[in-house]
């Protein structure tokens, strides 16, 4: 695409989210100002920091892998390409179908190796019927094979017109996409809430990694973390369009992303992305990208480095306008001991070794996970 702003990304280790949140929580407990509490120390546990380079002459990485977050407004559609093979994760709303088809045509798509419907809501499945009507596919996946809405029935209809059936993939399934690997991580159990049924995919290319979560919310996030799945990723598709019902501290600590991409519509009626989510991402030092402000976002990788392209340049202060002085980290965090199953205040002198720690963003979250409060620090 023409006239895209580009930013070059270079490798750099970063401080773990748990350590950063602990320092902030401890500072809050001591009633210190949150301003200036962030740490810039470099320790093992991260992968890559974003280094903006607004110059139009900035060199792009030679990237056989690209992930396109198509600007479909208050919806989600992600095209992934590796070595000339393509997969589509969601297709936006029904009205976005022609836009998605046009975008895929411009990218040279002639065939889709895989089509994933993250879950059965229209803003994710709606445009897939149009894509399947135009592009041949090898496999089509969804967490369910039936739903009551016309848009989902059309999705099934155009899948069947290709002589295919909608398949429900199992956790742990691995698919090749060129030289990249796509792994199904969730959902790890059944849910009545449709958002929590979202197919969670991890994509690895070289030493770079990406996590697609659809509209997964806090309940499914917690279950996924507790499953022991490898969630650490460089780029996170922020769940549920940046809603506060997703992207818990616990989940973000497991992912430790460098970049978070939010797909949402300008001035949408839901207020996405919510300030709570933006605050959590800011506190975790995650670089935020947003389709409502920047348009379609493309991330290219050579297996080591990234180049990020956006249709419009927007300063960081607008991408994440939350006020550090009203940081959500002022809420109490708790540290669990995975061995004793007790949880503590960050200031407790009896904290376990870091390797045995698990972070909870609230008292109720720790209790729900089966932990009991430390009698010394929690009265």
Q: Strand, coil or helix: what is 357?
A: strand
| Domain-embedded: residue 287 | yes
Please answer whether residues 112 and 136 qualify as being in contact, where contact means their C-beta atoms are separated by less than 8 angstroms. Answer: yes
CATH code of the domain containing 265:
3.60.15.10
* pLDDT score recorded for residue 295: 97
> pLDDT at residue 335 above 90?
no
Give the rounded percent of residues in the chain with a pLDDT score beyond 90. Answer: 65
What integer pLDDT is reported at residue 367 of this predicted model? 86
Is residue 173 located within the same domain as residue 205? yes
Other residues' Cβ atoms within 10 Å of the Cβ of residue 160: 13
Does 31 have pLDDT greater than 50? no
Nearest-angstrom CA–CA distance, 274 and 258: 19
Measured between alpha carbons, how far is 76 from 96 in angstroms, rounded to an integer? 10
Strands (E) in 228-324, as ranges, are: 235-237, 259-262, 287-290, 297-301, 306-310
In this structure, the answer to whether residues 82 and 214 fall within a common structural domain is yes
Place of tokens 């407790």: 348
Q: Is residue 59 part of a domain?
A: no
Assess if residue 93 is contained within a domain: yes
Pair 285, 336 in one domain: no
Mean pLDDT, rounded, for 330-352:
81
Q: What is the pLDDT of residues 175-213, one digit of tens each?
A: 999 999 999 999 999 999 999 999 999 999 999 999 999
- In a domain, residue 186? The reply is yes
Q: Is the pLDDT of residue 344 over 90?
A: no
For residue 267, cis peptide bond before it (omega within 30 degrees of 0): no
Q: Do the domain assignments include residue 197?
A: yes
Same structural domain, 226 and 364: no
Q: Which domain holds residue 154?
A: 65-310
In the structure encoding, which two tokens stand for residue 252, read together?
């973000």
For residues 336 and 305, state if they share a domain: no
pLDDT at 113: 98
**pLDDT > 60? residue 301:** yes
pLDDT at 377: 80
Q: Which residues contact 57 (CB under 8 A, 6 or more apart)?
A: none
Say if residue 201 is in the same domain as residue 268: yes
The pLDDT tens digits for 116-132 are 999 999 999 999 999 99
- 240 shares its domain with 359: no
Q: Looking at the domain assignment, is residue 184 inside a domain?
A: yes
Residues 222 and 350 in one domain: no
Residue 189 lies in a domain: yes
Q: 60-64, 175-179, 188-192, 264-268: lowest mean pLDDT where? A: 60-64
pLDDT in tens, 217-253: 999 999 999 999 999 999 999 999 999 999 998 999 9
Judge whether residue 368 has pLDDT over 90. Answer: no
Does residue 119 sit in the same domain as residue 209? yes
* Cβ density class 300-326: b for 16+ within 10 Å, e for less: bbbeebbbbbbbeeeeeeebbebeeee
Dihedral Cα 151, 155, 161, 164, nearest 10 deg: -160
8/364: higher pLDDT = 364
Quote the CA–CA distance of 124 and 247 in Å, as a whole number. 19
Number of domains composing the chain: 2
Q: How many Å apart are CA 91 and CA 101, to the nearest integer?
A: 9
User: Nearest-5° angle of CA 99, CA 239, CA 62?
Assistant: 60
Where do we find the tokens 């208050």? 74
**Domain-embedded: residue 19:** no
β 357-360/334-337 pair status:
antiparallel
Q: In the prediction, which pLDDT does 237 show?
A: 98
Beta bridge partners of 301: 65, 306
In the predicted structure, residue 1 carries a pLDDT above the cut 80: no
Strand ranges of the sheet holding 235-237, from the earlier edge strand across to the other edge: 174-177, 180-186, 200-205, 208-212, 235-237, 259-262, 287-290
């Amino acid at each position: 695409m023409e006239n895209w702003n580009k930013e070059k990304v270079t490798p750099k280790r970063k401080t773990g989210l748990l350590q950063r949140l602990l320092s902030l929580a401890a500072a809050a407990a001591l009633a210190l100002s949150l301003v200036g509490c962030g740490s810039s120390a470099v320790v093992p546990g991260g992968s890559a920091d974003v280094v903006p380079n607004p110059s139009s002459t900035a060199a792009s990485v030679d990237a056989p892998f690209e992930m396109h977050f198509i600007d479909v407004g208050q919806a989600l559609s992600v095209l992934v390409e590796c070595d000339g093979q393509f997969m589509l994760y969601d297709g936006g709303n029904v009205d976005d179908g022609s836009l998605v088809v046009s975008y895929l045509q411009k990218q040279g798509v002639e065939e889709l190796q895989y089509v994933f419907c993250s879950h059965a809501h229209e803003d994710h499945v709606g445009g897939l019927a149009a894509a399947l009507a135009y592009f041949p596919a090898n496999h089509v996946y969804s967490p369910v094979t039936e739903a009551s809405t016309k848009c989902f029935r059309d999705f099934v209809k155009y899948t069947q017109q290709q002589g295919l059936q909608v398949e429900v993939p199992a956790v742990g399934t691995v698919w090749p996409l060129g030289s990249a690997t796509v792994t199904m991580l969730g959902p790890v159990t059944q849910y009545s809430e449709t958002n929590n049924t979202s197919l969670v995919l991890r994509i690895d290319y070289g030493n770079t990694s990406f996590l697609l979560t659809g509209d997964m919310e806090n309940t499914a996030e917690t279950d996924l973390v507790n499953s022991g799945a490898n969630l650490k990723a460089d780029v996170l598709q922020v769940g549920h369009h940046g809603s506060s019902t997703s992207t818990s501290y616990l989940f973000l600590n497991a992912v430790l992303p460098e970049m978070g991409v939010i797909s949402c519509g300008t001035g949408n009626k839901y207020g996405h992305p919510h300030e709570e989510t933006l605050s959590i991402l800011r506190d975790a030092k995650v670089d935020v990208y947003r389709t409502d402000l920047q348009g379609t976002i493309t991330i290219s990788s050579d297996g080591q480095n990234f180049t990020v392209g956006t249709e419009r340049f927007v300063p960081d202060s607008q991408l994440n306008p939350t006020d550090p002085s009203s940081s959500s980290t002022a809420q109490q965090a708790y540290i669990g001991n995975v061995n004793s199953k007790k949880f503590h205040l960050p200031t407790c002198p009896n904290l376990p070794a870091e390797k045995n720690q698990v972070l909870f963003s609230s008292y109720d979250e720790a209790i729900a996970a089966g932990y009991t409060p430390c009698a010394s620090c929690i009265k």
